Amino acid sequence: MDEALRNLVEALEGELRGRASSFGWIPTESPQLLREAPAGTGVERLLEGLSSDLPDPTRERLPEFRRALELQPASLGVLLCGLDAKSPDESYRSALWWTGLVRSELVPSRRSDLHLFLVAPIGTINDPRWQGRRSRIESDERFCRKFVWLPSSAPDPAEIGNFLDRTFLARPWTGETAEPRSLDPLERLAEEAGTKSLTNDETRKWIARLGSLDGIQQIAEDLATILIESKQ
């Protein structure tokens, strides 16, 4: 992996840590997810055996540079690695290989909490080929949910923040506040009319009186009384 791509992965990790901390989660490095333990155990031994007869250049390998975090107490697992510009398909297969190994050793209840963040080469944000590759990868349902960051030629923290907003780390409170509102149309009319010429209380009384079955003369008198009382 070239140095620029390594730097992008590290920048994403830094912003991810900050975003997770703002949610009250504690991001910690995970040797288990990173698979720094000695190879040749469990399902990895089986997979290595199945691929041992292949020529060395095509044998599946773990990504050259990878990062792995656990977010506690949510027990979320995040894997990060890059997609090489010269061999994007091969680097993606390596990422899948890694993700499959990690998922195979997670208890079933935690498998849905595993996420893979992939970083494309710098300057690919408007590249149609990489946009298509991102769509294919993110729709790939194997092993876990996947997100692909296509960086600009000069990525900054705001750009990384926009990427994180596409993930489970989105900040829902940055949008317009959604205040609870009554589903009763008459109640909503009272609220809206109350912001104009009548108060909420006056409007509710008008609506209640208009809904009665009394004569028109009595209704008019009652409405006038409501206005007179509100001015006293």
Per-residue pLDDT of the chain (232 residues; tens, 9 = 90+): 588 899 999 999 999 999 999 999 999 998 888 876 544 444 444 444 434 443 444 445 788 889 999 999 988 999 999 999 999 999 999 999 999 999 988 888 888 999 999 999 999 999 999 999 999 999 998 899 999 999 999 999 999 999 999 999 998 655 444 445 555 555 555 555 555 566 667 767 766 666 665 555 666 666 666 666 665 5
128 and 26 in a common domain: yes
169 and 196 in a common domain: no
Residue 153 belongs to some domain of the structure: yes
Q: Which of 177, 179, 176, 147 is nearest to 162 (CA)?
A: 147
Per-residue confidence (pLDDT) for residue 47, from 0 to 100: 46
Asked which of 145, 174, 203 is the last residue of a domain, the reply is 174
Which range of residues forms the domain containing residue 189?
185-231
**Residue with structure tokens 């590249």?**
127
**Where does the chain have alpha helices with state H?**
3-22, 31-34, 42-51, 88-104, 108-111, 128-138, 157-164, 185-194, 200-210, 216-231
Residue 61 belongs to some domain of the structure: yes
211 and 152 in a common domain: no
115 and 218 in a common domain: no
98: tokens are: 């890694």
131 and 20 in a common domain: yes
Per-residue confidence (pLDDT) for residue 222, from 0 to 100: 67
